Structure 1
Amino acid sequence: MDEHPVSTAQIDAMMRASRVLLSVIAKSLAEVDNIVTPSQLRVLVMIASRGPQTLTAVAEDLGVHPSNATRLCDRLVAAKLMRRDNNPQDRRFLQLRLTEQGLDLVSTVMVRRRAALAAVLSRMTPDERHYLEQVMSSFALAAGEDPAEAMPAALGIAP
C-alpha cells in the first residue's frame, strides 16, 4: 500500500487541468482537422520528435495492429505528409520520414498550441509557473515521457 495515497482533491485538480489541456489541443487541431485525423497527427508528431520510425514502432505506439498502422501511414504518404525510405541499417524495414509539408503541418499545430498555453501561463505568477514546470516535468516522467523527445529546434517550435 502506498505510504502517501493520492487524494481525491489531487485527482480532481488533474481532471480540471486535463480539461484545459484538451481544450488547447482541440483548438490547435481545429485548423488541420480537414487535413489529418488526430491519430494521423499523432504519428506525424511522433516522427517529428523521435526521428524516422518503422511501421512496427508506429503500430506499437498507437497500440494498433500493424495493418491499421499501414493504412494510416498510406494515407499520410498519399497526402504527401510522410514518405517511406529504405533503412540503411536494415533494408528489410522501411523508415517513415516526414516531408517538408508534414514538418510544416506539425510546426503549425505546435506553434498554435504553444501560443495557447503561453496565454494561460501568462495569467499565473512567475513563481507559480516555475513550480508548475517542476510538477509537470515530474508528472510527465512518471507517465513515461522521455524528455529527450522534445520537438527539435529545426522545426522552429522548441522553446
Structure 2
Amino acid sequence: MDDQGEKLQDVDAALLAADVMMRVAARSVLEVEDLVTSPQLRVLVAIATRGPQTLGEIAAELGVHASNATRTCEKLVQAGLITRSENRADRRFVHLTLTQDGIALVQRVIGHRRAALAEVLAAMEPRDRATALHAFRAFAHAAGERPAADGRFSLVLPAIA
C-alpha cells in the first residue's frame, strides 16, 4: 500500500472513532430533548463551561440575532434553568447564570456521555484500551487540547459551584 492509501486508512479509522463519539454525544442530547432544545442546551453548556454570559455572548455563540437569543434565554429562565441579573457596572448588560436545576441538567448530559464512553472503553481489551487512551491524548495534544468553542460536545466541565 502506498503512502496515500495509508493516510486514507488512518483518516477513515479516525472518522469511525469520531462517528462513535458523536453518536454518544447525540444520544445524551436526546435524553433531555423533552426538557430543552438543542440551542437551549448549547446555552446551558456555554454558561457551564465559561461562567456567566451576556445575551450578546449567547447570540454570538448561537450565531443568531440578539432577539432570538433573548427568546431562547427567556424560555430557560421560565424553565428555572438559568437566572438573569443586571450588571451593576453597566445596567445595559444582563448576566445569565445557571440555577441548581440548570447545573443538574448539564451534569446529567455530561454524565451520560462519560458513562457511555466508559462502557465502550470497558469493553476493550486492557492493552487495546491503553493504546487507545494514549492515542486519544496524543490526538488531543496535536489539536491543541481545546474543547469545542460551542461546548456542544464537551465531556469535561470545570467544577460548578
With the shorter chain as reference, the TM-score category is 0.7 to 0.9
Q: Deviations over 1:115-153 (max 9, x none)?
A: 11122233242132122122124336478759xx95122
User: Matched residues, percent identical?
Assistant: 44
User: Quick one: which of 135, 157, 160 aligns to 1:154?
Assistant: 160
Q: Which ranges in structure 2 are unaligned for 5 or more consecutive residues? A: 1-6
Q: How does 1:119-134 map to 2 (within 5 A)?
A: 119-122=119-122, 123=124, 124-134=128-138
- Counting matched residue pairs gives 147
Look up the match of 1:136: 140
TM norm structure 2: 0.79
The one-letter amino acid of 2:84's match is R
The answer to whether 1:90 aligns with 2:96 is no
Please, which moves more after superposition, 22-31 or 134-143?
A: 134-143
Structure with greater Cα Rg: 2
TM-score relative to the length of structure 1: 0.80
Q: Deviations over 1:84-109 (max 9, x none)?
A: 11113322100011111101100111
| Residue 4 of structure 2: aligned partner | none
Equivalent residues in 2 for 1:6-85, closer than 5 Å? 7-85=7-85
- 2-structure distance, mates of 1:142, 1:154: 19
User: Gaps (5+ residues) in structure 1?
Assistant: 1-6
* Aligned-residue CA RMSD (Å): 2.4
Q: Classify 1:141/1:65 alpha carbon distance in 2 versus 1 (closer, same or farther; 3 Å).
A: farther
CA distance in 1, matches of 2:38, 2:149: 19
Distance 1:87 1:143, change over 3 A: same
For CA contacts below 8 A with separation 6 or more, give which structure has more relative contact order: 2
Moved segments of 4+, more than 3 Å: 7-11, 140-146
Contact (CA 8 Å) 2:103, 2:160: kept in 1 or not? no
Aligned counterparts of 1:140 and 1:43: Cα–Cα separation in 2: 24
Which segment is superposed worse, 109-118 or 18-27?
Answer: 18-27
1:153 partner SS = coil
